Amino acid sequence: MTGRIAGLLGLRALEVMLGTVLSVVLIGGCSSTGSGRASVMEYTAARDLIDQVLNDTFDSVTPKLAWEDDHFYLVPDTAGTGGDKDTGSAKRSRNVMTLVSPAKADLLITMVKDHWTARGYTVLPPARGAPPHVLYATTPQGYRLSLDASKAGVVFCDVTVEDVKVAPHTYYPFMDQETGPRFDAHAQKVDDPYWSH
C-alpha cells in the first residue's frame, strides 16, 4: 500500500515537472516566433496615436499656431517585422499655416524642444551639414518626430510610427480620407502679430 502511494506521488511529481517544462517551452516559443508581434498595432490605433502626439506638441506652443494636417500615410515594409510582410510605418505631417518669420523660427524650435524633453523624448543631435531650425526626436516607444522650420515661411511637424499592421492589398501611399482638415499647399498663410513679425 505504502509502495503504491509512493508510486502515485512519484507519478504526480513527474506530471507536474513535465507540465512546468512544457509551459516554459510554450512561453519560449511564443517569445521567439512572435518576436515583435505584440507591438504591432492596427492602423487606426497608429493614426490616433500620431494625432495625440501632434496635438500635444502643438498645444505646447504659445501663442497658438494655425495648422492643417496632411494625409495619413501607411507605407508597407519590404520585409516587415520579424520577416513578416504585413507591417509598415504610419506617418502624418502637420503643416503650420501661420506665417513664422525667420526671427521666430529659433524660438519655435526651442519651445518644442523643451516640451519634448519634458515629455521624456530623446532629442537627437543635428546631423553634420543639416540646415538650422530642424529638430529630431524619438519617444521611449520608438516613435520618430521631427519639426522643420528650415525654409522661410514653411514649417511642418512629422510623426512616424513603426510596426503598424498593413493589409496585403495596401500600396504606398495609403491615404486615410476619414476625418480632419486636409493640407492645401496653395492656401494663404495666416499672418500672426507675434509669430509673423
Structural domain count of the chain: 2
Residues 29 and 49 placed together within one structural domain of the fold: no
Predicted TM-score (pTM) of the model is 0.72
Question: Which residue, 51, 32, 31, 86, is CA-closest to 161?
Answer: 51
Give domain status of residue 166, yes or no: yes
Residues 146 and 57 placed together within one structural domain of the fold: yes
Question: Which of the pair, 42 or 7, is modelled with greater confidence?
Answer: 42
Show the cell assigned to 29.
516559443
Least confident stretch, 18-27, 121-130, 149-158, 177-186: 18-27
DSSP sequence for 66-133: PEEEEEEEEEE-SS-GGG-SSEEEEEEEEEE-B---HHHHHHHHHHHHHHHHHTT-EEEPPPTTPPSS
pLDDT for 72 equals 83
pLDDT level of residue 184 (50, 70, 90 thresholds): low
Which 3-state string (H, E, C) describes 24-75? Answer: HHHHHHHHHHCCCHHHCECHHHHHHHHHHHHHHHHHCCCCCCCEEEEEEEEE
Cβ contact 57:157 at 8 Å:
yes
pLDDT for 152 equals 85
Residues 28 and 44 placed together within one structural domain of the fold: no
Give domain status of residue 180, yes or no: no
pLDDT for 84 equals 55
Range of the domain at 2: 1-33
